[in-house]
Structure 1
Amino acid sequence: VTDILAKNNINIRALSIAETEDFGILRLIVSDENAAEKMLKENGYLIKVVDVVGVKIGDEPGKLTAALDVLDKENINVEYLYAFMARTEKHAYVVLRVENNDIAEKALTDAGFKLITEADICKL
């Protein structure tokens, strides 16, 4: 997978791997979602694109907890997340897969968190 993406100039921004008894799951955040989907499908991979919520948080203890607490108060389950640092800023970024993006986005913005877009993530 990494070779296919590299040969097509697609940058991996974040990834996680999960294994089950019968198959593995590779979750990716990439610089060009459409090209990655096309290339991987052409090479026989089963692809599922899902919507996620991106949040900019302070790079200090407790900020991730504060964002997760906002979701918990709204009874929004986090299925999985990616967290990473930007090279040029003193912020952390969290990309969340949640049950309901609209409710999560509203709750986070109402609590003062700044949402980030796919374009923002690709610039990190």
Structure 2
Amino acid sequence: MKVKQLSVFLENKSGRLAAVTRVLAARGINIRALSIADTSDFGILRLIVNDPQSAYQALKEAGFTVTLTEVIGVEMPDRPGALSSILAHLEEAKINIEYLYAFLGKGDNGALVIFRVEDLDKAIEVLTSKGVKILNEEKIYSL
């Protein structure tokens, strides 16, 4: 139920994000979700792609500083309060959220949220016990 996410360290200058996307496109790797957090000097690009191992290798070969991290993908209804409910379950279990980002799924999938938490296994256990749908790698990568 854990999903592999790429984190790419980028200098905050023109063309760096475009360079990452060129490398991935050249290898036929499709980006499923992304988030970027930046400062005045650098940024961390977080990506969910359809083939994380190939993407990791391609970016390493292109000279990028990249890591693979495990996260969880949660499906929820695309309606007000859905995220609040999930966050309440994590808060109740005292699970700290390091970061999250969201995107809309295809068709009836609703909203999808990628979570990085301190204890992935505990978060999966808690959310599953509350009836929250945790998506597996195949489902996320094929969206």
Matched, 1:56 2:75: yes
Q: How many residues align?
A: 124
Alignment match, 2:46: 27
- Normalised by the length of structure 2, the TM-score is 0.82
Q: Deviations over 1:75-111 (max 9, x none)?
A: 1111111211112115211110000001100110111
* Identity fraction in percent: 48
Shift of 1:21: 4.5
Deviating beyond 6 angstroms after TM superposition, the runs of 4 or more aligned structure 1 residues are: none
Q: TM-score, normalised by structure 1?
A: 0.94
Q: Which residue of structure 2 lines up, in the alignment, with residue 94 of structure 1? A: 113
Unaligned runs of 5+ in 1: none
Aligned twin of 2:29: 10
In the alignment, is the contact (CA less than 8 A) between 2:75 and 2:109 conserved in 1?
Answer: no
Residue 20 (structure 1) shift: 2.9
Cα distance in 1 for residues equivalent to 2:109 and 2:30: 22
Change (3 A) 1:90 1:48: closer
CA distance in 2, matches of 1:123, 1:34: 15
Supply the RMSD in Å over aligned alpha carbons: 1.2
Question: Is the Cα contact below 8 Å between 2:75 and 2:135 reproduced in 1?
Answer: yes
Structure 1 residue identity aligned to 2:64: Y
CA distance in 1, matches of 2:109, 2:60: 37
- Please say if 1:116 is aligned against 2:135: yes
- Structure with the bigger RCO (C-alpha within 8 Å, sep 6+) is 2
> Matched residues in 1 for 2:40 and 2:110: separation?
37
State the distance in 1 between where 2:71 and 2:49 align. Answer: 13
Confirm whether residue 70 of structure 1 aligns to residue 89 of structure 2.
Answer: yes
